[in-house]
Amino acid sequence: MHEEKAAILAFSALPAVSVALPVLGAACAAAAGEARSRLRNWAAVISSGATLVAVAALLARVLSQGPVYFNLDIMRIGDRFVGNLEVDAMGAFFAFFASLLWFAASMHAFRYMDHEHKRTRFYLFMLLTEAATLGVFMVQDFFTLYLFFEAMGLLAYLLVIHSETERSRAAATKYICMTVVGGLSLVGGIFLYLGYAGTVAFRPLAESAWLAGPFKVVALVGLIAGFGVKAGMVPLHIWLPDAHPAAPSPASALLSGVMIKAGAYGIIRTLLSFFQQPAAHAGEAAEAHGAAHVAGGLASDVQALGMVVILVAVATMFIGMLLALVQSDIKRTLAYSSVSQMGYILFGAGCLAYLGAEGPMGMGGSLYHVLNHAFFKGCFFLAAGSILFRAHELDMFKLGGLWRRMPVTAFCWCVAALGIMGIPPFGGFVSKTLLHHAILESHHLAEAGHLGTAGLVKFAEIMFIITSGGTICYITKMTYYTFFRRPRGEHAHHVEHVREAPSWMLAGTALLAAGVLVNGLFPGLLLRRLVGPVVGTVPGFDAHVAAHLSEVPVYIWANIKEILVPLAIGLGLFLLGAWPDLLGARRRGPDLFRFRLPRWMGVDYWYVRGARGSLALLFTGKRLYAPVKEGVVREARKGAAGVVRAVRDVIYPSLTTKPMQWVKAQSLRWYREARTGVLPRVREYQGDLAVGALVIAVSLTLFLIMRLL
């Protein structure tokens, strides 16, 4: 199999170089240390810049000449499992924006970290996380993916906990719990995938019956939940709104801009594993399994899966939006916004599975939105970092009028804001248009096929529009309160001394804002040169539909009018919540922007209760078992006493002859000695003995049950 792969793929050192450069940078940064802090900061910027160049070269190479591999050859177990780097177009695409974001964040961190402690540790782990994250995108099998995915998750823990305040400790603990559970769910899913697909590669073996196994739902739930934890998928998102604000701002930009995309990437890969069988082989497999209806059944299974993903995505985007609406902390709003935006990305992925062979539009929208979200959310977080750096405050209601004091930051922020709102001609408009097309296509498909899910698809479309409206509202709110509202008297001291951020920080922010602009201004170029080709590499897609994606017109009235409804909803909501401040009036009645839900409505409340409950159950088991153990001991002692009594009352009286009398005296003496000498020892071990007896009894019972079954 290995030779075959070598024949198809071209060797390239670029994947290894891209992963090694950040590690090298990390080593340099650690060696430079606090004593040579400028050298250390430069090392981070240069290494992430060099990584960006390497990844860009890799992307160009992959798009022009097809996938490349590098024989890493680690964790080799026999011939079946081996960790190797292999990059296809989609992986290179993800790696490209990841390294771009890392470059921007390391520029921003150059000055931002001045007011943090343990800076060397931060740089060390930021760069190591980059290596791990790039690794995630540069593999073609779940085995190696798991290596990098776990490494990324664990290394990012250091970024979340960095400030070591109570708040970040709590956030980091939540984060690590979710990471560990997600990792285990993932590895469980991978095992089952291995069992059914016959391989750990993303492309299942042609003759395998991936999805025919009895545990297919378990396997899928394991994989999607494992990736979904990282992707911030509702209801597994609970770590995200705590962890992103707790981390230093450049790290938040990375967590929000890149790391959660790794989760989305995993989900897209999982969904694509159904498309990876070459058409000819798929036909053979269908024949091998009896009839064409197997292939039909598979298609409808995938469609059902797509529907589930769409619904989860809708829940994610809607709940994230609602919670973002009521936050006052800028970074917390952005974090909830990330949850909501991940919903958009998963939405595209769901459409991809729902549409099946006609899914390029869903995948294209998803990928375009990944790119967009990376840029604008990274830009937002970096700008928020600049605000925190200068104003030492992140409560939007205590800030105000910053656009005068930080004009460049405000400009970048506004570009990102227009981008995320989906206003033409900024990036978000393009991806939201694509996603909207995808859901419309799904609806056509459902109507044409008289599918039962047509109503649900319509519902998803409506939710999509409402969520877009809510997004417009909370972004407008945040922008208005932070930058444009005149600061209130009691809070004016927060902003008085504020100056424009240092140029290093501006450079990082502006780079990402430029990305948002490019995404919006050149959609045709990006679709033709980047997103289209990436989607085109997926086997199993209808070639015509894939080609259509490259030529889909974006800036036409039919698309632009679609934004008007959300815009009206969003601005209406905004006016409803902000009119007292806009008019300078006193606030009366319920406040839309400060609404708080009770704790029990949060998912994490129930997770904590569940975890406590299961722990309590374990210890109840222990408590229940203590009386049983004592009971066993008591009964055993009773039995022993009974034997002694029987000997004393029944046997001894019958011993009348002289030799027997001697035996009796002797045995009494031994008994007395045993009582004083041995019995205390026995008492000491009675617990162990009882446990032994119990476990043997339980095991025998289980054994018998298994034999009988």
Partner 1 sequence: MPDKSAFSVIPLVAVLLPWFSLVVITASPKKARGLRLWLCALGALATFGVVLSLLPGILDGNTYTIKLASVVEGLEMRLTVDTLGYYFSLILAFLWLLATVYSISYIDHKENRFFVFMALCESFLIGCAFSANMFTYFIFYELMTFGSYPLIIHEETAMARRAGYKYLVYAISAGTVLFFAIVAHYFWGDGQLGFGSYGVLSLEFAGRAALMTVFFTYLAGFGVKAAIMPLHGWVPDAHPAAPSPASALLSGVILKAGAFGIIRVCFNVFGVELMRDLKVHVVMAVLACITIVVASVFALTQDNLKRRLAYSSIGQVSYIILGLSMLSHDGALGGVMHLTHHALMKGCLFLCAGVILVKTGKKNISDMKGIGYKLPITMICFSVCALAMMGTPPSVGFITKWLLGSGSLEAGLPVYVIVLLVSALLNAAYFLPIIYTAFFRWEGDEAEEGEEHHRPKLAFGKEADHEMVVPIVILAALVVIVGIWVTVPGFPYSFVSKVVGIIFP
- The DSSP bridge partners found for residue 83 are 74
Residue 511 or 690 having the CB closest to partner 1: 690
Segment lying near partner 1 (by CB under 8 A), choices 92-100, 147-155, 391-399, 671-679? 147-155
Instruction: Examine residue 702 and tell whether it contacts partner 1 (CB under 8 A).
Output: yes
Taking the complex as a whole, how short is the minimal distance between the CB of residue 139 and partner 1, in angstroms? Answer: 12
- Nearer to partner 1 by Cβ, of 68 and 145: the residue is 145
φ, ψ for residue 504 (rounded to 5)?
A: -60, -45
Report the alpha-carbon distance of residue 99 to residue 136 in Å, rounded. Answer: 12
Report the site for partner 1 in 177-196 (rule: CB under 8 A): 180-181, 183-184, 187-188, 191-192, 194-195
Contact with partner 1 (CB under 8 A) among 21, 101, 136, 147: 147
3-state secondary structure of 76: strand
Which residue's CB is nearer to partner 1, number 75 or number 665? 75
| Minimum distance, C-beta of residue 616 to partner 1, in the bound complex (Å) | 13
Please report how many Cα atoms fall inside a 13 Å half-sphere around the Cα of residue 660, on the Cβ side: 7
CB of 247 to partner 1, least distance (A): 14
d(CA 500, CA 87): 41
Asked whether the beta carbons of 357 and 540 are under 8 A apart, the reply is yes
707 binds partner 1 (CB under 8 A): yes
Strand ranges across the sheet with 68-77: 10-11, 68-77, 81-87
673 CB contacts (<8 Å, ≥6 apart)? none
Q: Which is nearer to partner 1, 63 or 154 (CB)?
A: 154
The answer to the question of residue 278 lying near partner 1 (CB under 8 A) is no
Provide the 3-class DSSP secondary structure of residue 400: coil
Report the first-to-last Cα separation within the chain, whole angstroms. Answer: 41
Under the criterion CB under 8 A, does residue 151 sit at the interface with partner 1? yes
- Taking CA atoms, 306 is separated from 298, 300, 346, 475, in Å, by 12, 10, 10, 30
DSSP class of residue 598 equals: -
Residue 140 C-beta: closest distance to partner 1, Å: 17
CA pair distance 651, 664, nearest whole angstrom: 9
The verdict on 164 binding partner 1 (CB under 8 A) reads: yes
Closest residue by Cα to residue 568 from 466, 482, 479, 475: 466
Q: How many residues bind partner 1 (CB under 8 A)?
A: 50
Residue nearer to partner 1 on the CB measure, 74 or 292: 74
Taking CB under 8 A as the rule, does residue 624 contact partner 1?
A: no
Contact predicate 366/268, CB 8 Å: yes
CA distance linking residue 38 with residue 45, whole number of Å: 11
609 Cβ contact partners less than 8 Å away, ≥ 6 residues apart: none
Question: Per CB under 8 A, does 83 bind partner 1?
Answer: yes
* Binding window for partner 1 (CB under 8 A); candidates: 167-175, 370-378, 431-439, 565-573: 167-175
Member of 37, 71, 173, 537 binding partner 1 (CB under 8 A): 173
Residue 414, both tokens: 């506004």
- Which of 618, 643, 665, 679 contacts partner 1 by CB under 8 A? 618
Q: Tell how far CA 668 is from the center of its chain.
A: 73
Q: Between 165 and 503, name the residue whose CB sits nearer to partner 1.
A: 165
Binding span for partner 1 by CB under 8 A among 170-178, 444-452, 466-474, 643-651: 170-178
Question: Could you say which of 215, 484, 555, 652 contacts partner 1 (CB under 8 A)?
Answer: 215
- Number of residues in the chain: 709
Q: How far is the CB of 611 from partner 1 (least distance, A)?
A: 10
String of contacts with partner 1 for each residue 659-698, x by CB under 8 A? ----------------------x---x--x--xxxxxx-x
Segment 62 to 81, residues that bind partner 1, using CB under 8 A: 74-78, 81
Q: Which of 65, 165, 503, 661 binds partner 1 (CB under 8 A)?
A: 165
Q: 26, 128, 136, 176: which one contacts partner 1 (CB under 8 A)?
A: 176
Least distance CB 76 / partner 1 (angstroms): 5
Which DSSP letter does residue 502 get? P
Look at residue 69 and give its three-state secondary structure.
Answer: strand
Looking at 100, 152, 172, 271, which residue binds partner 1 (CB under 8 A)? 172
The pattern of x and - marking residues 570 through 609 that bind partner 1 according to CB under 8 A reads ----------------------------------------
Q: CA–CA separation, 397 vs 338, rounded Å?
A: 21
Q: How far apart are CA 108 and CA 113, in angstroms?
A: 9
Q: Which of 265, 399, 377 is nearest to 324 (CA)?
A: 377
- Vertex 75, ends 71 and 81: CA angle to 5°? 80
Residues that bind partner 1 (CB under 8 A): 74-78, 81, 83, 117, 143, 146-147, 150-151, 154, 161, 164-166, 169, 172-173, 176, 180-181, 183-184, 187-188, 191-192, 194-195, 215, 618, 622, 681, 685, 688, 691-696, 698-699, 702-703, 706-707
